[in-house]
Amino acid sequence: MKKTINQMIFLCLIGILACEKNSNDTIIKDYTYSACKDNLKESDETESIHLKTLTNNQLLIEHINAYFNCEPGKILVKGEIINANQINIYEDEEQHIADCICRYDLNYKIVGVTLGENTITIFQNGFERLVYNIYLSNQTDTLLQVTPI
């Protein structure tokens, strides 16, 4: 009897831990980024973020003219969803070896978003770059201008 109760407690704990892990796991899908865009005209230099909802609870994010080191190695993107309505995105350079800046276009999808009120926070190299409150619906398609660094 005691052995059965211990096994049930153990299985419940595993279930709880698995649920907690899944609730904070965000899948970044179809991630690509451009080469350094070093021939931009001043009128083309505006940094912006395009948000568009797709089918199957996916959110397309296009970060246009994002600033990164001109020799970043790889540009990495990770994400998490907290409490179903807080989306945190982390855009980072793999290495910081050059003393110059380039602009890049990043494109990726976040799987598992919840429609309704959401707060999207984008961190770049550990610094908060953008915080935006948005109501996500099936028709969300918005372009945000990002304040220059």
Are 59 and 77 contacting, i.e. CB atoms less than 8 angstroms apart? no
Q: Is 55 helix (H, G, I), strand (E, B) or coil?
A: coil
C-alpha 17, offset from chain centre: 23
Residue 115 clears pLDDT 90, i.e. is over it: yes
Residues recorded for the chain? 149
Count the helices and strands in the chain (H runs, E runs).
1, 9
Q: Is 44 helix (H, G, I), strand (E, B) or coil?
A: helix
Residue 144 clears pLDDT 90, i.e. is over it: yes
Residue 91 clears pLDDT 90, i.e. is over it: yes
Q: What is the pTM of this model?
A: 0.79
What is the predicted pLDDT for the residue at 19? Answer: 45
Tens digit of each residue's pLDDT (9 = 90 or more) over 10-20: 555 555 444 44
| Domain boundary assignment for the chain | 27-145
**pLDDT band for position 98 (cuts 50, 70, 90):** confident
